[in-house]
Amino acid sequence: MTDASDPKIALVTGASRGLGFALAAALGAAGWHVLAVARTTGGLEELDDRIKAAGGSATLAPMDVTDARAMEHLAQSVAARWGRLGLWVHAAVHAAPLSPAGHLDMKDIDKSIACNIRATATLIPLLEPLLRAGTGTALFLDDPRAGEKFFGAYGSTKAAQIALAKSWQAETAKIGPRILIERPRPMATATRARFFPGEDRAGLADIHDEAARLVASL
Rounded to whole angstroms, the Cα distance separating 107 from 66 reads: 14
Q: How many residues are given for the chain? A: 218
Residues spanned by the domain of 37: 9-217
> Do the domain assignments include residue 4?
no
CB-count burial class (<10 Å; 0-12, 13-18, 19+) for 107: exposed
Rounded to whole angstroms, the Cα distance separating 52 from 25 reads: 9
Specify the pLDDT at position 5.
53
> Do the domain assignments include residue 211?
yes
- Note the pLDDT tens digit of each residue in 48-70: 999 999 999 999 999 999 999 99
Rounded to whole angstroms, the Cα distance separating 131 from 96 reads: 30
The whole-number average pLDDT for the span 182-190 is 94
Total domains in the chain come to 1
Rounded to whole angstroms, the Cα distance separating 202 from 54 reads: 28
- Note the pLDDT tens digit of each residue in 83-127: 999 999 999 999 999 999 999 999 999 999 999 999 999 999 999
Specify the pLDDT at position 2.
38
> Do the domain assignments include residue 85?
yes
We report the CATH number of the domain holding residue 70 as 3.40.50.720
> Do the domain assignments include residue 124?
yes
Nearest 5 degrees, angle CA 47-CA 52-CA 58? 65
Q: Read off the pTM.
A: 0.94
pLDDT bracket for residue 1 (50, 70, 90): very low
Query: What percentage of the chain exceeds 70 in pLDDT?
Result: 97
What residues are paired with 90 via a beta bridge?
A: 13, 140
Rounded to whole angstroms, the Cα distance separating 157 from 189 reads: 20
> Do the domain assignments include residue 2?
no
